Amino acid sequence: MLIGEPADVSSLKLSKEIEEILFLQSLSNLVSRLSYDRRLERAWQMVERDYADSSLTLDEVATGSGANKNHLNVLIRRRTSLTFHQLLIRYRLARAVEMMLAKNYSILEIALENGFGSITTFERNFRAVIGTTPVLFRRQHNK
């Protein structure tokens, strides 16, 4: 997986437990909830495609999906119980977890490849959402 390479949600290899920690539901359920509205579907496609760009913003996604940024955020929250920013961070974390489980990338490589501007930002978000550090998570899941 390289920066700029399109993501395919069906290729994510996460356990149900990790999906529910990240997205508060299964990823397939989340995607189906977003597909009810064309603007939400386009927004999700942009998140999947551009998640590794650390400068991706709600403004850009709203413009690309044809919605006002505040309205788009409300729509996303109604469908997923997450704000746009939370959804983006959690998708980045999902891709990071996948990398952690697939190969022995450094934590810095994982952070930068998945749109986190620094290792500190990655570790802070990882701990806040998953409840442990990336290093401890890797040790627990790579046995």
Structure tokens at 59: 């403004």
Whether the predicted model's global pTM rises above the 0.85 cut: yes
H or E element that contains 101: helix 84-102
User: Where are the chain's structural domains?
Assistant: 14-141
How crowded is residue 6: how many other Cβ atoms within 10 Å of its Cβ? Answer: 8
Query: Which residue from 8, 32, 24, 37 is spatially nearest to 87, judged by alpha carbons?
Result: 24
Structure tokens at 97: 């977890």
CATH class of 14-141: mainly alpha
Per-residue pLDDT of the chain (143 residues; tens, 9 = 90+): 333 333 344 445 678 888 888 998 888 899 998 988 999 999 999 999 999 999 999 999 999 999 999 999 999 999 999 999 999 999 999 999 999 988 789 999 999 999 999 999 999 999 999 999 999 999 888 76
The three state secondary structure string of 98-123 is HHHHHCCCCHHHHHHHCCCCCHHHHH
Give the sign of the dihedral formed by CA 88, CA 92, CA 95, CA 97.
negative
Task: Find how far residue 116's CA is from the centre of its chain.
Answer: 11
Give CA–CA dist 11/110, Å, rounded. 17
> DSSP 3-state assignment of 37?
coil
